[in-house]
Amino acid sequence: MTVRVRYAPSPTGEPHVGNIRAALFNWLYARHRGGRFIVRIEDTDQARLVPGATEAILNGLRWLGLDWDEGPDVGGPYAPYIQSQRLSRYQEAADRLLAEGHAYRCYCSPERLEQVRAEQARRKEPPRYDRHCRDLTDAQRADYAERGVAPVVRLRTPLEGQTAFHDYLRGNIVVDNSTLDDFVLLKSDGFPTYHLANVVDDHLMDISHVMRGDEWLPSTPRHVLLYEALGFAPPVFVHLPLILGTDRTKLSKRHGATSITEYRERGYLAEAMMNFLALLGWAYDEKTELFTRAELIRYFPLERLGKTPAVFNPEKLDWMNGVYIRRLAADDLAARLVPFLERDLPPQVPRPLDATYVAAIVPLIHDRLKRLGEVAELTDFFFLEELAYETRLLLGKDLTADLAGRALETTLPALEGLEPWDAPTLERVIRGLAEDLGMKTGPYFGVLRVAVTGKTAAPPLFQTMAVLGRARTLKRLHDARAALLNVAV
């Protein structure tokens, strides 16, 4: 079998990580089997379309490195790949189903349908269409047409018997037809529902495997009936396990970010995100967690897919992202950090940033970063001309204003003519000053750290001073001393 799989998102919002996980699994399987990965935009629900959503979805795929062989921007033998541009194909399928008696036109108004649902709810019955128009006479249909009532087209679902299908992960599934309704295939505006459009397109585009979230499992009997009515051979169905939050409920915004765009903007690496998403419903073995892109492709037969829901653990993602960041070469990391610094540093910091200066900072924070989006908060003092000092931070737990001020006064002249201005020389001189002052290094280094960074937690002190440079370091020591002069002894 030639593997042809598709990712068919609806552009109704930002790309959800659950949908992107489905795209990743389809892409990995296509690449594993030397097949084709197709992107198809399912935009037939015109009322729910969100401007810019299609481009956001495609950008999310590009960011992860999921290239497609056929799609709306690259074309292919089954173009077009946007469903709103394929309406004639769905109309043809609906006409055929009508002609062969597998479907019928329904003229019920939204008001009548709402009334039917309300009555069913009062009787504690499941909501479904009551088949009011299933057996209209030709005269009745002609009367509706003469009055200009635009119908929908519904499938004439069998009233008895069963519909069976095989899911790759869950085995054989059998559903009583009496539990199914006569669902809509074609809406009154000429646009198809998801059910008709995806069945028609999957057949016409030669899709071999339909891999999608198992929230679509209840809809599959409907699709199987459609395949049978149209005389199409169904694909292999693979319904992927749900993604849950850490509280084991379906992943939603209450668990935090759910859009792949948000994770990109927060500074997660694409390669870490790919690795993390791949483990949500797939495993190579019981212990291996870190995989390169090539390894994921190599190790992705369907047999290793899981059946149970996967838990989206943000802490694990942070850990994994940190591992990937630490694996980056310093110059690569610096280049990736510049856009986040440009975006997040205070507005008074001049742009564009000096890339050489950023590269000098990177070794000081490389091991501390979990996300690229943390960089501005960790390093803003490297770029600011003025710092605002909190006296309590300058003094720490063990110093008086007098002692802290004396420490700064002693340090300033010792550093003014220091050569060379580098971390080893700074450390040697400053450690000697601690002895001269009779101070423990902890409190002494602490006041210097806050003086040059404004923070109690910062990169290594001497390397930080070396990168800041002599002029900026000395100015900050002066400014910190001045701030202490205003404190009552």
For the chain, report the end-to-end CA distance as a whole number of angstroms.
Answer: 84
On the question of pLDDT at 488 being above 80, the answer is no
Number of Cβ within 10 Å of residue 124's Cβ equals 6
Strand duo 184-186 + 171-176: pairing: unpaired
What is the reported pLDDT for 226? 98
The full set of domain ranges for the chain reads 4-83+243-311, 86-240, 328-382, 391-485
Burial 254-280 (b: 16+ CB within 10 A, else e): ebebbbbbebbeebbbbbbbbbbbbbb
- Fold (CATH) for 4-83+243-311: Rossmann fold (3.40.50)
Burial 376-390 (b: 16+ CB within 10 A, else e): bebbbbbbbeebebe
Beta bridge partners of 186: 153, 192
> Residue 267: left (phi > 0), alpha (psi -120 to 50), or beta?
left
d(CA 395, CA 456): 10
On the question of pLDDT at 51 being above 70, the answer is yes
d(CA 129, CA 382): 66
What is the rounded average pLDDT of the residues 95-109? 97
Strand order in 4-7's β-sheet? 36-39, 4-7, 209-213, 236-240, 162-167, 171-176
Beta bridge partners of 176: 162
Decide: residue 136, CB within 10 A, 0-12 exposed, 13-18 middle, 19+ buried: middle
What is the reported pLDDT for 412? 97
Beta bridge partners of 152: 106
> Residue 489: pLDDT band by 50, 70, 90 thresholds?
very low
Q: At a CB cut-off of 8 Å and minimum separation 6, what does 266 contact?
A: 257, 371, 372, 373
Examine domains 86-240 and 391-485 and report if their fold is the same: no
d(CA 448, CA 5): 60
Q: Out of 119-133, 249-263, 342-356, which region has the weakest mean confidence (pLDDT)?
A: 249-263
Where are the alpha helices (H) located in 255-390, listed in sequence order?
A: 260-266, 270-278, 293-298, 314-327, 330-344, 355-365, 375-379
> Residue 66: left (phi > 0), alpha (psi -120 to 50), or beta?
beta
Domain at 328-382, CATH from 1.10.8, 2.60.34, 1.10.10, 2.60.40? 1.10.8
- DSSP string of 165-182? EEETTTEEEEEEGGG---
Helix (H) or strand (E) holding 155: strand 152-155
d(CA 156, CA 183): 8
Beta bridge partners of 311: 244
> Residue 423: pLDDT band by 50, 70, 90 thresholds?
very high
Per-residue pLDDT reduced to its tens digit, 181-204: 999 999 999 999 999 999 999 999
> Residue 160: pLDDT band by 50, 70, 90 thresholds?
very high
d(CA 197, CA 192): 6
Sign of the C-alpha dihedral, residues 62, 67, 72, 75?
positive
What is the rounded average pLDDT of the residues 129-154? 95
Amino acid at 353: L
d(CA 53, CA 61): 13
What is the rounded average pLDDT of the residues 54-77? 97
d(CA 29, CA 26): 5
Where are the alpha helices (H) located in 147-215, listed in sequence order?
A: 194-204
Is-contact 39 72, C-beta < 8 A?
A: yes
d(CA 446, CA 480): 12
> Residue 72: pLDDT band by 50, 70, 90 thresholds?
very high
Where are the alpha helices (H) located in 249-310, listed in sequence order?
A: 260-266, 270-278, 293-298
What is the reported pLDDT for 463? 98
Mean pLDDT for the chain? 95
Comparing CA positions, the residue from 308, 321, 252 lying closest to residue 282 is: 308
What is the rounded average pLDDT of the residues 236-261? 88
Active site residues: 253
What is the reported pLDDT for 483? 92
Q: What is the DSSP letter of 144?
A: H
What is the reported pLDDT for 188? 94
Residue with tokens 């006296």: 391
What is the reported pLDDT for 200? 98
On the question of pLDDT at 255 being above 80, the answer is no
- Kindly indicate whether the domain formed by 391-485 is annotated with CATH number 1.10.10.350: yes
- Fold (CATH) for 86-240: Rossmann fold (3.40.50)
Per-residue pLDDT reduced to its tens digit, 306-333: 999 999 999 999 999 999 999 999 999 9
